[in-house]
């Protein structure tokens, strides 16, 4: 138990021959576990968790054959799990979670027939899950999650664990098909297999075979097929996470029977049909996310009127229609409402005065009309509001300037006219966007035309213009439309040609030959807007990466144009070099767009930070401290160039490890090889347009809080993403790890340990590797400096975040320490 004890565990404890329980958990003890503890033959409990212990687990503990509890979690232990611990046949609890072990799970542990709790979470294990664990007939809980290199398949024998309540194998590098036997463990309450390279389907009878299930987390597991209707029989379910799979079909209408359900996450699948009205009966629901599907129809009125506890609702990127229900105004707990990129029409609900918890409201990319309702002025806690790309009209209401917490406002591409306010959020042009409207005035930075006369005279001017337009003959109007269309088409083609003319021209046939017919063996990446292939050009044998756009994907064409515009004038050693672009037709007569980049032989940072079994060279060694600091500096230099040294600021919008490519010298180059987002142009007009059509979300975990699942982009948002990237580089933990739940994030995880326990949250492989290259003081100094930069970059307030040039200065000092 915690007594703030420091120092080392004395070997003289072995003199206490009658000792039954040794509980020194949650202290500040360091050093090794004395091997002399193996002399205490009567010991039943060894509890040393939550300290700073290092070294190996003594093999002498196998002599303590009466042991029932061996708890060594949250330390810095390394080496192997002693195989002969299987001699301790009375063992009921074995926990080595959060250590830096380097071995596999001993198959001999299958002999521990009395074992009830088996904790291996984040302990750096490899070698797979032994099938012999299926013999642990008393096992209640098994957690091997976040052992990213554990690998192998999930043994079918685990289905024999008929008493198992808790099974967590998330983020463990597992592959193969999910054993059907797991869905027959009727005692299961928690099943978490998320974020593995698995495949399979949800059994049709899952609602009958898992009657006690409360938490079902199978996100990003390669699931196919449909969501079984029988899932409505699992009435104890509190959380369903099935997002990021390939599920099809409709959402089961009887899902409304799950009265205890609090979170339903079905985003980023291929679901069709309508949103079941029965969801409106789930009165305990606090979070609903069905974004990124193909759902159609209208929002069920009951969903809005009855779910008064709902705090998070994301229906974005579907094909929903109709008007937004007026009953949205009664959702007193709603904090985040995202309806972006659907086909909603009509007016914004007039009465939202009860939505006092609202912080994020995103309505962009719909067909809404009318005025902005005055009731929005009563939402005093509103921080992010995006209504861009609709058909809203009238003047911009002045009451928006009274919302003191409003940080970002996007009204671009509507039909607003008249003067732009200058108070509140309108006082800083970086915080609001009004491009694509007929507005005037505002702060000088907007460079809008001056408003003539009073508001009334402005309206008279608008009226006179309307009369003038009406007076134009039908023939002249038609000619104007034709000329406008021709100009738009010309401008888009010209944008492509400008990039192509600067570089060598390549035909479709040449790219086809370079990739062996765009073969699967040449495929190196797949993203939302297309695929990336490795190719070899011509007789010179130049290796390239070729991003081929999927033009059937909504937004892909605009993505191509935006990237062409951004890359047209960019030149920097830490940006991926674009060789050329190709905009032509394939052999079938279909449009074909591609971008050709310099190939990066050392692939991306993600492969180095989170290697999987079979990754090749990237899994054979750990990135050194010097390499990590160098990579961090490279990315910062690239960001500084994008933000401050071009013709206009460029906002990347999707900074993450997989978008940091490494060359032969391990120099980082920022790019995006066909994943989900493209580099954004940021001049006064194109910035607004691109930021709301292809830069909506970025990647979960790296999105700054002010974006709020679709808010306006900014250079400060990139800085936040960079800070998260820094934390990931030096902790080797993804921001989406299952550990970060219940309000915790990778930032809060590191902040809680900073500065006293910085070494504890650092990547164990990095710490172990540098023990022979750096003294402990220098290593800790470097980590503290890096974490300080990362935490300042990830401040909640955009204005409080560190400037890129300051991050470069501090990281340069860290690099000098590493080089010494």
List, by residue number, the catalytic residues: 654
First-to-final CA distance of the chain: 41
8 Å CB contact between 237 and 262? no
Query: Which token pair is 439?
Result: 């507005």
- The CA distances from residue 447 to 91, 419, 425, 686, in Å, are 74, 13, 17, 15
- How many Å separate Cα 98 from the centre of its chain? 23
8 Å CB contact between 348 and 324? yes
8 Å CB contact between 570 and 595? no
- How many Å separate Cα 270 from the centre of its chain? 19
Give the list of residues 6+ apart from residue 105 with CB closer than 8 angstroms, or none: 81, 120, 125, 127, 128, 129, 130, 133, 144
Q: What angle do CA 490, 492, 495 make, to 5 degrees?
A: 105
Report the alpha-carbon distance of residue 549 to residue 531 in Å, rounded. Answer: 7
Longest dimension (CA), the chain: 106
Report the alpha-carbon distance of residue 632 to residue 815 in Å, rounded. Answer: 10
Report helix, strand or coil for 220.
coil
Give the list of residues 6+ apart from residue 301 with CB closer than 8 angstroms, or none: 280, 325, 327
Please identify which residue in the block is written with the tokens 């032994």. 130
What strand order describes the sheet that includes 52-54?
Answer: 6-8, 28-32, 52-54
Report the alpha-carbon distance of residue 286 to residue 263 in Å, rounded. Answer: 6
Identify the helix (H) or strand (E) that includes residue 513. helix 508-514
Report the alpha-carbon distance of residue 601 to residue 663 in Å, rounded. Answer: 6
Identify the helix (H) or strand (E) that includes residue 718. helix 715-731
Report the alpha-carbon distance of residue 288 to residue 441 in Å, rounded. Answer: 41
Name the β-bridge partners of 362. Answer: 338, 386
Question: Where are any strands of DSSP class E within 26-134?
Answer: 28-32, 45-47, 52-54, 69-71, 78-79, 93-95, 100-101, 117-119
Give the list of residues 6+ apart from residue 536 with CB closer than 8 angstroms, or none: 514, 542, 543, 544
DSSP notation for 666-683: --EEE--SSSS--PBP-S
Query: Which token pair is 629?
Result: 């600091």
Report the alpha-carbon distance of residue 713 to residue 651 in Å, rounded. Answer: 7
φ/ψ of 370, rounded to 5, equals: 90, -165
Query: Which residues make up each annotated binding site for ATP?
Result: 547
Report the alpha-carbon distance of residue 72 to residue 372 in Å, rounded. Answer: 59
Query: Which token pair is 443?
Result: 């702060």
8 Å CB contact between 311 and 264? no
Give the list of residues 6+ apart from residue 692 with CB closer than 8 angstroms, or none: 364, 365, 386, 388, 389, 410, 412, 413, 712
Please identify which residue in the block is written with the tokens 């797979």. 128
Cβ burial of 323 (10 Å; 0-12, 13-18, 19+) is: middle
8 Å CB contact between 567 and 597? no
Q: Cis omega before residue 755 (within 30°)?
A: yes
Give the list of residues 6+ apart from residue 387 with CB closer than 8 angstroms, or none: 348, 363, 364, 368, 372, 410, 411, 414
8 Å CB contact between 62 and 38? yes
Query: Which residues make up each annotated binding site?
Result: 547
């Amino acid at each position: 138990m915690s007594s703030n004890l420091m120092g080392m565990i004395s070997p003289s404890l072995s003199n206490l021959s009658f000792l039954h329980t040794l509980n020194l958990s949650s202290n500040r003890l360091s050093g090794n576990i004395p091997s002399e503890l193996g002399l205490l033959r009567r010991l039943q409990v060894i509890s040393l968790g939550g300290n700073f212990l290092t070294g190996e687990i003594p093999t002498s503990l196998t002599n303590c054959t009466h042991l029932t509890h061996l708890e060594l979690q949250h330390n810095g232990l390394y080496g192997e799990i002693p195989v002969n611990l299987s001699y301790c046949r009375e063992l009921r609890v074995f926990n080595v979670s959060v250590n830096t072990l380097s071995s596999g799970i001993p198959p001999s542990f299958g002999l521990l027939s009395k074992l009830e709790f088996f904790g291996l979470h984040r302990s750096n294990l490899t070698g797979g899950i032994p099938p012999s664990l299926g013999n642990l007939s008393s096992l209640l809980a098994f957690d091997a999650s976040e052992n990213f290199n554990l690998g192998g398949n999930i043994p079918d024998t685990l289905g024999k664990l008929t008493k198992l309540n808790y099974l967590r194998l998330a983020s463990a590098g597992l592959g193969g098909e999910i054993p059907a036997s797991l869905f027959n463990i009727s005692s299961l309450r928690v099943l978490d297999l998320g974020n593995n390279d698995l495949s399979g389907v949800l059994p049709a009878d899952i609602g009958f075979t898992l009657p006690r299930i409360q938490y079902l987390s199978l996100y990003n597991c390669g699931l196919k097929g449909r969501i079984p209707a029988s899932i409505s029989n699992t009435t104890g379910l509190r959380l369903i996470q099935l997002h990021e799979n390939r599920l099809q079909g409709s959402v089961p209408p009887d899902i409304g029977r799950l009265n205890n359900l609090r979170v339903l996450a079905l985003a980023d699948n291929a679901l069709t049909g309508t949103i079941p009205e029965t969801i409106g009966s789930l009165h305990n629901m606090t979070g609903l996310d069905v974004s990124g599907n193909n759902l159609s129809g209208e929002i069920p009125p009951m969903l809005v009127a009855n779910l008064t506890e709902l705090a998070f609702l994301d229906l974005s990127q579907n094909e929903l229609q109709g008007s937004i229900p007026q009953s949205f105004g009664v959702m007193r707990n709603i904090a985040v409402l995202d309806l972006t990129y659907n086909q909603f029409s009509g007016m914004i609900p007039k009465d939202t005065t009860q939505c006092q918890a609202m912080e994020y409201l995103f309505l962009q990319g719909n067909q809404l009309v009318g005025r902005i309702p005055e009731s929005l002025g009563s939402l005093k806690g509103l921080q992010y509001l995006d209504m861009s790309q609709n058909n809203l009209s009238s003047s911009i209401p002045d009451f928006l300037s009274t919302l003191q917490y409003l940080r970002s406002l996007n009204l671009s591409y509507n039909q607003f006219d008249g003067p732009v306010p200058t108070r509140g959020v309108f006082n800083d042009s970086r915080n609001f966007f009004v491009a694509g409207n007929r507005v005037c005035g505002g702060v000088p930075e907007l460079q809008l035309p001056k408003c003539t006369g009073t508001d009334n005279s402005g309206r008279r001017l608008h009226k006179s213009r309307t009369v003038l337009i009406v007076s134009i003959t039908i023939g002249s109007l038609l000619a104007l439309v034709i000329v406008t269309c021709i100009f738009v088409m010309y401008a888009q083609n010209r944008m492509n040609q400008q990039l192509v003319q600067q570089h060598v021209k390549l035909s479709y046939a040449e790219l086809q030959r370079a990739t062996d017919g765009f073969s699967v063996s040449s495929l190196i990446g797949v993203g939302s807007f297309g695929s990336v292939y490795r190719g070899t050009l011509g007789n010179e044998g130049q290796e390239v990466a070729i991003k081929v756009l999927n033009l059937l994907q909504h937004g892909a064409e605009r993505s191509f144009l935006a990237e062409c515009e951004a890359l047209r004038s960019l030149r920097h050693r830490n940006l991926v070099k674009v060789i050329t672009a190709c905009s032509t037709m394939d052999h079938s007569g279909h449009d074909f767009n591609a971008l050709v980049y310099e190939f990066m032989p050392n692939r991306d940072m993600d492969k180095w930070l989170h290697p999987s079994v079979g990754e090749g060279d990237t899994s054979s060694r750990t990135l050194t401290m010097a390499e990590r600091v160098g990579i961090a500096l490279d990315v910062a230099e690239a960001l500084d160039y994008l933000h401050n040294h071009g013709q206009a600021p460029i906002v990347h919008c999707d900074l993450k490890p997989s978008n940091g490519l490494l060359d032969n010298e391990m120099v980082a180059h920022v790019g995006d090889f066909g994943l989900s987002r493209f580099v954004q142009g940021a001049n006064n007009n194109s910035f607004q347009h691109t930021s709301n059509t292809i830069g909506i979300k970025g990647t979960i975990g790296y999105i700054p809080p002010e974006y709020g699942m679709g808010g306006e982009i900014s250079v400060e948002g990139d800085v936040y993403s960079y800070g998260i990237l820094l934390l990931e580089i030096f902790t080797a933990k993804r921001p989406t790890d299952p550990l970060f739940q219940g309000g915790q994030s990778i930032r809060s995880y590191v902040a809680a340990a900073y500065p006293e326990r910085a070494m504890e949250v650092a990547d164990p492989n990095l710490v172990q590797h540098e023990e022979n290259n750096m003294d402990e003081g220098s290593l800790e100094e470097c980590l503290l400096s890096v974490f300080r930069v990362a935490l300042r970059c990830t401040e909640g307030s955009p204005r409080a975040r560190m400037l890129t040039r300051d991050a470069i200065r501090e990281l340069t000092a860290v690099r000098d320490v590493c080089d010494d």
